[in-house]
Amino acid sequence: MNKTVGEGVDFARQLKASAQGVDGVEVAIAPPYTALYAVQKEIKDSSIRLAAQNLFWEEKGAFTGEVSPLMLKELGCHYVIIGHSERRQFFGETDDSVNRKIRAALAQGLKPILCVGETLKEREEGKTFSVIERQVQGGLKELGAEAIQNLVVAYEPVWAIGTGKTATPEQAEEVHRFIREKLSHLYSKGMAERVRNPVRRERHPGERQQADG
């Protein structure tokens, strides 16, 4: 919940300039709902992809305050973040609701960015991998191999958000390997290798920058 429409457009303009000539990676920006349309207009002639921060699983209906996958698709969104740690922590997001949202996104041709990650207490208790396993399995419940070809899995440790702590590349890579192993068991090694684990740069108040691996 950062940046007004004008600030979002300005940020997108700066990002567009910085991303010129960058090869071998895909860049995406996920502004608040209110800035999606304006940011999309700013980046439309660039290689930058537009992402939304969340969605609801129904296409329409009496769900005041929610935004549907159809609405995001019309705005030109390519990706949508689902299961972000802050959604889980503050808004009651569950593995079941994450699964429903992923299904809704895929049905409309949006690519889900599934966020998984453990709290500091869970890490200190040695529960990192059991938490990640539960979140991956729950988020992908009853989804076929074809569906995960359009999936991104982002490791986002809750303990590294707003605490001043950051996950080291080694910690992130350890979890990435575990995620791929789990996907290999659920689907196949080939399918698991196609699922991407992104490097994320997030700007919060004070311009804190964080890499999730």
Distance CA 129, CA 151 (A): 20
Q: Can you give the length of the chain in residues?
A: 213
Quick one: which of 199, 82, 59, 93 has its CA closest to 143?
82
Query: Is there a catalytic annotation at residue 84?
Result: yes
Quick one: which of 197, 179, 199, 198 has its CA closest to 189?
179
User: Which residue among the candidates 42, 84, 118, 122 is catalytic per the annotation?
Assistant: 84
User: Which residue among the candidates 42, 118, 122, 156 is catalytic per the annotation?
Assistant: 156
Quick one: which of 146, 88, 150, 148 has its CA closest to 122?
88
Q: Which residues on adjacent β-strands are paired with residue 116?
A: 155
Distance CA 186, CA 85 (A): 23
Query: Is there a catalytic annotation at residue 204?
Result: no
Quick one: which of 114, 112, 211, 200 has its CA closest to 171?
211
The CA-CA-CA angle for residues 98, 163, 159, to 5°, reads 40
Q: Which residues are designated catalytic?
A: 84, 156
